[in-house]
Structure 1
Amino acid sequence: MAKIANKQVICEVLMEAARTDRDVVALCSDSRGSASFTPFADELPEQFVETGIAEQNLVSISAGLAKCGKKPYAASPACFLSTRSYEQCKIDVAYSDTNVKLIGISGGVSYGALGMSHHSAQDIAAMSAVPNMRVYLPSDRLQTELLTKALLEDEKPAYIRVGRNAVEDVYEEGKVPFEMDKATFVTQGSDVAVIACGEMVKPAADAAARLREEGIGVTVVDMYCIKPLDRAAIIKAASGAKAVVTVEEHAPYGGLGSMVSQVVGSECPKRIVNLSLPDAPVITGTSKEVFRHYGLDAEGIVKTIKGIL
């Protein structure tokens, strides 16, 4: 089981970089606790900006700092960052090509009982639709660490969505096959290809392990890089399978499922099934309860794959 949440890993990596690079700046919208950025604010107060509950200002200030040579990392609940400040993300960050990394915390249904107002089930589609904006959903703390370090090395806009709680490790420490903007093949099989992102990669891997015991081979692809999408990985996975399944903590429109379907349909037509949240306000419950209800856990993925075969 993971010791810490992905968002905490981001803070730790940024703090390490900020101690020697004063241009690294963290910003929050009254969310330093939720973002696990309190240690950053306490240790490096001169490199931390608190905007209060003003997400639009958060993004615009970050863009201004970037134009002054700073390297801003703006953390805010994904539900607000991807909607309330969408115009600022589009114009001040992406269109203006500023070196701003937008960190959407508590993504998907992480906020549980707070309901639709606090769920971000549209952010993959929204952010991916903006030219010049990259979109990443790391699957565990180990991949998050490598992604954050890689993002420190470039000067391009990006949106990174992470959940609220710690998730189980997908990879082993020291053995994370990470390459920037290239999907990772977690397992290999010849029956069904499962392409997942974010917190859905672990249940997909668990489902593959269960099915392997029954003689069913499943390829699991960790598509942490939603944009730029690794088309080659999709084609490779789909070409060697009888069917394709996508799994995402997102609405059924415009997300990973839609993107993968476009590639599969045009390059290697196969039956494809998209597992996602519904096009409706989700039920009230914890993340695990919501996933179980909509078949987004290992058991649900196993059931879907067996149904296909």
Structure 2
Amino acid sequence: MSEVKKIATREAFGETLVELGKKHPELVVLDADLAAATKTAVFKKSFPDRHFDCGIAEANMMGVAAGLSLVGKIPVASSFAMFATGRAYEQIRNSIGYPHLNVKIGASHAGITVGEDGASHQCNEDIALMRSIPGMVVMNPSDAVEAAECVRAAIEYVGPVYMRFGRSAVPVINDRSGYHFEMGKGIVLREGTDVTIVATGILVSSALEAAEKLAAEGISAEVINIHTIKPLDKELIINSAKKTGKVVTAEEHSVIGGLGSAVCEALSEECPTKVCRIGIQDVFGESGSAGELLVKYGLDGNGVYNTVKNFVTR
């Protein structure tokens, strides 16, 4: 069996910015002294006059991005998720969200797979923060292929967008014919009848692995990839829930305020369904390798399999 190709979504973020920079002369990139890590350094190399290092001043960077958007630029502001959303939340809310400006936020190093950097850098609350801002689009790609599509869609869209990228290399699962990306639309990757697994980001890969193991035990799991958490594809999720009767959400994020909350909100309003939420269970992360942390917090394929199996059979 051939080895699965793995690429970090932050790599695709940087490369796609260069691709789009050639087509859009108004595209500019801002960074907070982390260009090498966020991969915006490749844009800086190609377009040095359109890359601005704002230093370790993320709040100020968001204000600069807001100003640039008002003079016709398409600014992409980038930093680690912890700093881009946590440290600069007020500026994003008041200077970008409230006037609904055309600013894109590319946040890398999200979730516990930041690894050894530990709890201070493992942002498991960013989706919750960005979801709460009126008019903010929130996207969380499952692999490098989808990350590139997210960036392209964000640049074409007029309005504020939050994009979430990771540090670690993750399996490429969307390099297939027929793959189609549309902002706000989920993708059924595997049809099933016994349970629906609604996953986002790197947990899509874990969900697919879990579905394979469940199938071997006679449990048919439908797997839905939700790359756009806001706006949420409610119709797709509700229709699947009506078919299977049970829903599991899976995310590398707190179960509070993220995909799990969004799905529960949608189902409770239109199709009350039993839901199990897989994610960070109201705790902080810790230092360790990305792989070890995924296993400890039950976010790897085997962890998702065990949780779904217990949920379906209990």
TM-score, length-normalised on structure 2? 0.95
What runs of 5+ residues in structure 1 fail to find an aligned partner?
Answer: none
SS of corresponding position for 2:163: strand
1:1-309 equivalent positions in 2, closer than 5 A: 1-308=4-311, 309=313
Q: Structure 2: which 5+ residue stretches go unaligned?
A: none
Deviation at 1:265, TM superposition (A): 2.1
What is the distance in 2 between the residues matched to 1:157 and 1:220? 29
Residue 304 of structure 1 aligns to a residue in which SS?
helix
Query: Does the aligned pair in 1 maintain the 2:104–2:155 contact within 8 Å?
Result: no
Q: CA deviation at 1:2?
A: 3.6
How far off its partner does 1:3 sit?
Answer: 4.8
Counterpart Cα distance in 2 of 1:114 and 1:5: 17
Rounded to whole Å, the distance in 1 between the matches of 2:43 and 2:309 is: 47
8 A contact 1:140–1:170 mirrored in 2 = yes
Q: CA deviation at 1:285?
A: 1.4
Cα pair 1:142 1:173 within 8 Å, conserved: no
Amino acid at match of 1:242: G
How far apart in 2 are the matches of 1:156 and 1:2?
Answer: 34
Alpha carbons 1:29, 1:58 under 8 Å: kept: yes
Moved more, 213-222 or 185-194: 213-222
> By how many angstroms is 1:65 displaced?
0.6
Residue type at the aligned position of 1:303 = N
Deviations 1:55-88 (A, max 9, x none): 0111111111110100111110001111110011
CA contact (8 A) 1:142 1:176 kept: no
Distance in 2 of aligned mates of 1:253 and 1:20: 39
| In structure 1, C-alpha distance between the alignment counterparts of 2:23 and 2:180, rounded to whole Å | 28
Matched to 1:207, the amino acid is: A
Residues 31-50 of structure 1: CA distance to partner in whole angstroms, max 9, x if unpaired?
A: 10011121211121001000
Any idea what SS the aligned residue of 2:239 has?
helix
Once residues 64 and 174 of structure 1 are traced to their aligned partners in structure 2, the CA distance between those partners, rounded to angstroms, is 41
Q: What is the CA RMSD across the aligned residues, in angstroms?
A: 1.3
Structure 1 length-normalised TM: 0.96
